[in-house]
Amino acid sequence: MLNEAALLTARSDRKLIDNASLDEAIDRVIAGPQKRSRVMSDHEKKVTAYHEGGHALVAHAMPKTDPVHKVTILPRGRSLGYTMVLPEEDRYSTTRNEMLDQLAYALGGRAAEEMVFHDPTTGASNDIEKATTLARAMVTQYGMSERLGAVKLGTGAAEPFLGRDYGHERDYSDDVAASIDQEVRRLIDQAHQEAWDVLIEYRDVLDSMVNALLERETLGKSEIEEIFAPVTKRPIRVAWTGSVHRVPSDRPAIDMPKPKSEA
């Protein structure tokens, strides 16, 4: 990213890397260079604004999603726009609830298109691919399906579809393969409905977001937070252990030990 910022600075005959160069470098690394030659019609701009606004609003409303740092409807790479959601600190693992929120956020754009225009576009294809990959990993790798349990399903990197794990030997039955697909569909449908419910409840906020995007094309974190001020976070989901027989303990985790210098 810093290398990209340095190149942008050099091309502009400047000696110091400034915030504008860093911001552009981040955009290029995440979404590719800006497509200045790509001219969108007013209708397509509006569809893109609702799509990205849907992502951003659902991400903001879900309790375990990282903060929305940026939303733009400027075309970059293969995308007509994008929503940047970033963690506030380094993270090395992800909880089930965080992944469920990611699924809802991923489907927020598609849900917004359906709700407003009653006719979804191909713009959500990458979102659907990411959501499906995540949902399948939850079921087959992370043991986050009560129906299938804490079992690793599949022997290779390629994820199975209807039992077909191409290039790798399958280690489960056709019935289990069908159950995997049903669980993936259930997770996707649940997330789709969660996204829809947020957008229905906060349609006025979504319209305000879209209006701001059409006027300014790119919104930063502070502008987004101002627009989303009326939004109340969804409640955190109930405890999940994978079985009704494993009742969560009411006893909390211990406190972190004090550093030796403070002891």
Indicate which residue of 4, 52, 89, 225 is catalytic: 52
Based on the residue annotation, tell me whether 215 is a catalytic residue of this protein. Answer: no
Q: What is the DSSP string of the chain?
A: -HHHHHHHHHHTT-SS--HHHHHHHHHHHHH-SB-TT----HHHHHHHHHHHHHHHHHHHHSTTPPPEEEEE-S-BTTBS-EEEE--SS--S---HHHHHHHHHHHTHHHHHHHHHHSS--GGGHHHHHHHHHHHHHHHHTS---TTT-S----SSSSPPBTTB-TTS---S-HHHHHHHHHHHHHHHHHHHHHHHHHHHHTHHHHHHHHHHHHHHSEEEHHHHHHHTTTPPPPPPPPP--SSTTSPPPSSPPPPPPPPTTT-
Q: Which residues are catalytic?
A: 52
